[in-house]
Chains A and B, each alone.
Chain A
Amino acid sequence: MSEPRFTDVDSVREQLREVDYLSDEGIAGIVYLADRLGKPILVEGPAGTGKTQLAKSTAEILGARLVRLQCYEGLDESKALYEWNYKKQLLRIQATRSDDEDSGWADISDDIFSDEFLLTRPLLEAITADDPVVLLIDEVDRVEVETEALLLEILSDYQVSIPELGTIEAKQVPLVFLTSNNTRELSEALKRRCLYLHVDYPDMDREKEIVLTKVPEITESLADQVARIVRSVRQLELKKAPSVSETLDWANTLLLLGVDKVDAATASDTVNILLKYQSDIAKARKEFASDSEAFEGSSA
């Protein structure tokens, strides 16, 4: 197996911090393990908690190229792995027919099923690359269960079988990240091949750090208030809790408005940046305005 990429967990965490990604012990630890064990990481968690960013930032610290396969329903082999360039193949067949009447099908097929006619897609590209790459298979829960099967071979053996060409083996074992918003259960087969990392909303201190890092002009005190209010808002029973990216949007908005202390009125006026559903916004506004006795939590 290739040289380990990291010396220890702390160095992963430190390097990620240097590229403005605030991880925690669990996140850094699993990235470290993935490298040591040569296994992909399945990153699951709510939207906007930095799953995709983790792959990007890891690529950045390794100086590796990020090869990304964005998943969507209907994704198939020809978009994920490889495809024969059949337009080119057709042309070649026609050309061969006209200038050489008696060339057999065997010859033609040898000819047209060769590298020259192969279009590599992200998965194949990632393992055949000569330069270091990080492979990101983003939002894997969006493909149909059956399509997951396409990923299995590459995830466990780092190889791709092409019937017409044989098996293509990896030149390198790339670090692989799969992300999922958990809209459906992934297959056991896929999960077995991966290390599992659940990335949740960050705790208050980490969120504050993220705000300070990503919104550098913000004051310590404003970042602190933002993180506190977001924590409280997340405790409400909402249709959709604010994500880290929404926290950042909100912090930027407050900064633009020149706010240095977030009072209830400001919070109410700007909470639509933080929350997306009308009912959630209404709920939060109500909470901002009333006193703490009302927050004991209403149970349905």
Chain B
Amino acid sequence: MSTPAGSAPGTHPGDAGEVAGALAGPALLELLSGFIVELREAGLPVSLTENLDAMAAVREIPLEDRSAFKYALAATLVKNHAHWRAFETVFEVYFSHRGSHYGIGDEADAETSPFDDEDMDAAGQGDGSGQGQGQGGAGENLTPEELAQMLYQSLLQADQAMMRAAARQSVKRYAGMEPGRPVGGTYYLYRTLRNLDLDGMLEQLMDAAREQAPDDLTPLEERLEHDEYESRIEQFKQEVEAEIRRRLVADRGVEAMAKTLRKPLPEDIDFMHASREEMVSLRKALQPLTRRLAVRLARKRRHGRKGALDFRNTVRHSLSYGGVPAEPKFRYPRPSKPEIFVIADISGSVAAFARFTLHLVHAIAGQFSKVRSFVFIDGVDEVTSFFEGTEDILEAIHRVNTEADVVWVDGHSDYGHAFEVFWQRWGRDIGPKTTVLILGDARNNYHASQSWVIKEMQHKARHVYWLNPEPRAYWDTGDSIVGEYGVHCDGTFECRNLRQLERFVDHLV
């Protein structure tokens, strides 16, 4: 068994008394159990077998190798790539503080202690006594100009060590961290980055690139340089985040930090309350999801049922076995594809939900004989043509949001009016092959419901389903009248997140 690299720096309140290097079975086991508890808290499904596998795996790798340790844990504990970010966050928190103690941190040799208690107390006072000397040029008490210069150089040269030093200095100078202050990491991140003016930095770097080039940069070259520097800046931001996390963990302890950093998995993010960052991860998750659905649905359609025995074919084949029907043959039925009408409320709070659902339905349009889309707020408009003749669904949805004619009076949802107009203009197009999906929270601003439209619809259509992005507990409270419509539907579904949406689409086909 290996011993920690280097001698561990000063002790920490949480771990006082723990002896570095005492990583015999029980200590390691305990450490891992704690980690797995955190993973489960974060929503990752870790089974007992996987727990044991993780234990076996870390015995096979040198413990002082932090990244090997991480991969070994990931390979045994995380079996879904969408969960990687959640795993990584928990890992960084859980093992950052203890890293140097347990000899699994690469911080141990990087500096004396980035998370010293004194360092924490000194934060904001510019004492700097806890900082390592000569770290890639990281001196003490850098002026803002010197700091900017150091950052600039580190980005220009893609110097990882200097970037890390710059991140440490930036956090120290600008984050304004105080012990025990109950604010989240994003606040400190924001404060730090705001003071650094990274956009200006990018411009400076681009200027340098232009100067260095023998000729004028072509637009393509501009683009490539731009992407290169942007990726370095991204790397730097991650260093800043890591530094803030380290300090927070030192201040508050692992468990508290893991809790504040806990983020929902992409498939569980609430459409109605997603932050900007969450929207990005939602959009990322949507792509593989649609692909997965399309393949699965196509497969289901083809092989959903075994058809009736194909008698003639079976007999024909039996001839080669001396008349024994050894190889029964079946017909494959081709169930008819439904035609889909989507009618979506695209007003404020439910807009994101409508966007994702429209995207999903159009991405798997091949599974239906036809998809027609209608959007409304208090007026209603057909937007099917936006999706036709283009493969770019995002672009189409962008047009839906900017070009559709959905405002009638005041731009507040009026389901009743929208449904009435829909019925007059397109009601006759609904037939026995049509499945209608209505999307919205049914918050009708106390207008008339005109629920008779849904009733008529249900008579003519194959199915009418209502998808509501609100938690079921809120339905029919305030001005929500989903119940009034729901009685005329073949089903009402809570669709707060991608997981529920995917389940519904599966059910649909």
Q: Check A267–B227 contact: CB distance below 8 A.
A: no
User: Could you tell me if A37 and B227 are in contact, using CB atoms closer than 8 angstroms?
Assistant: no
Residues of B close to A262: CB separation below 8 A: 220
Also in contact, A144 and B291, with CB within 8 A (given A26-B71, A228-B227, A267-B220): no
- Given the complex of chains A and B, what is the CA–CA distance between A271 and B222 in angstroms? 18
A120 to B401, CA, bound (A): 59
Within 8 A of A (CB), among B37-88: 45, 47, 49-50, 53, 56-57, 60-61, 67-68, 71-72, 74-76, 78-81, 84
Distance in Å from the Cβ of B283 to the closest Cβ of chain A?
A: 8
B334 within 8 A of A: no
**Interface 1/0 per residue, B381-421 and A, CB below 8 Å:** 00000000011101101100100000000000000000000
Decide: A90 near B303, CB < 8 A? Known: A231-B227, A239-B391: no
Find residues 229-269 in chain B having any chain A CB closer than 8 Å to their own CB.
231
Interface size of B in residues (CB-CB distance below 8 Å): 55
Q: Is A278 an interface residue (CB 8 A)?
A: yes
- Assess whether B223 is interfacial by the CB under 8 Å rule: yes
A184 lies within 8 A of B68 (CB): no
B324 CB-CB contact with A under 8 Å: yes
Contact (Cβ within 8 A) B223 A232: yes
Does B295 make an interface contact (CB < 8 A)? Answer: yes
Asked if B329 CB lies within 8 Å of chain A CBs, one says no
Contact residues in A for B76 (Cβ distance below 8 Å): 195-196
Known: A192-B50, A279-B390. A33 touches B295 (CB 8 A): no
**What separation, in Å, do the CA atoms of A198 and B81 have in the docked complex?**
7
- Give the shortest distance, in Å, between A54 (CB) and chain B (any CB): 14
Closest A residue to B391 by CB, please name it: A279
Are B72 and A183 neighbours in the complex by a CB distance under 8 Å?
no
Give the residues from 187 to 223 in chain A that come closer than 8 angstroms, CB to CB, to chain B: 188, 191-192, 194-198, 204
Complex formed: what's the CA distance from A42 to B57 in Å? 16
Task: Evaluate whether A183 and B292 lie within 8 angstroms (CB atoms) in the complex, with A29-B71, A37-B53 already known.
Answer: yes
Which B residues are in CB contact (< 8 Å) with A232?
223-224, 227
* Nearest chain B CB to A108 CB, angstrom units: 15
Whether B288 is near chain A, meaning CB under 8 Å from some CB there, is: yes
A117 at the interface (CB under 8 A from B): no
CB neighbours of B53 from chain A (8 A): 37, 39, 195
Query: Which of A121-129, A164-172, A245-253, A284-292 interfaces with chain B?
Result: A284-292
Asked if residues B223 and A188 are in contact (CB atoms below 8 Å), the reply is no
Task: Tell me if A's interface is mostly helix, strand, loop or mixed.
Answer: helix
B296 on interface, CB distance cutoff 8 Å: yes
Structural contact, A192 and B49, CB atoms closer than 8 A: yes
Decide: A195 near B75, CB < 8 A? Known: A37-B60, A184-B295.
yes
| Contact in complex: A295, B223 (CB < 8 Å) | yes
List, in ascending order, chain A residues with CB within 8 A of B47's CB. 188, 192
CA distance A237 to B225 in the complex (A): 19
Instruction: Contact check, A183 vs B295: say whether CB atoms are below 8 A apart.
Output: yes
Asked if residues B222 and A291 are in contact (CB atoms below 8 Å), the reply is yes
Chain A: minimal CB distance from B213 (Å): 13
Partner of A279, one of B56, B206, B392, B398: B392
**Centre residue among B78, B79, B391 by max chain A CB count within 10 A:** B79
Contact A25 B322 (CB under 8 A): no
**CB of B388, distance to nearest CB on chain A (Å):** 13
Specify which chain A residues have a CB less than 8 angstroms from the CB of B79 in the assembled complex.
42, 191-192, 194, 196
Asked if A196 contacts B295 (CB within 8 A), the reply is no
A196 CB to nearest B CB, Å:
4
Residue of B nearest to A196 (CB): B79
Residues in B neighbouring A235, C-beta threshold 8 A: 227
Q: Nearest 6 A-B pairs (CB), nearest first?
A: A279-B391, A183-B295, A191-B79, A300-B394, A291-B219, A264-B220
Residues of A within 8 A of B (CB): 9, 25-26, 29-30, 32-33, 36-37, 39, 42, 44-45, 73-74, 86-87, 90, 94, 144, 182-185, 188, 191-192, 194-198, 204, 225, 228-229, 231-232, 235, 237, 239, 262-264, 267, 277-280, 283, 287-292, 295, 298, 300
Having A26-B71, A86-B326, A182-B288, one finds 11 other A-B pairs with CB under 8 Å, namely A29-B61, A29-B71, A33-B61, A195-B75, A195-B76, A196-B75, A196-B76, A229-B220, A289-B219, A292-B219, A300-B397
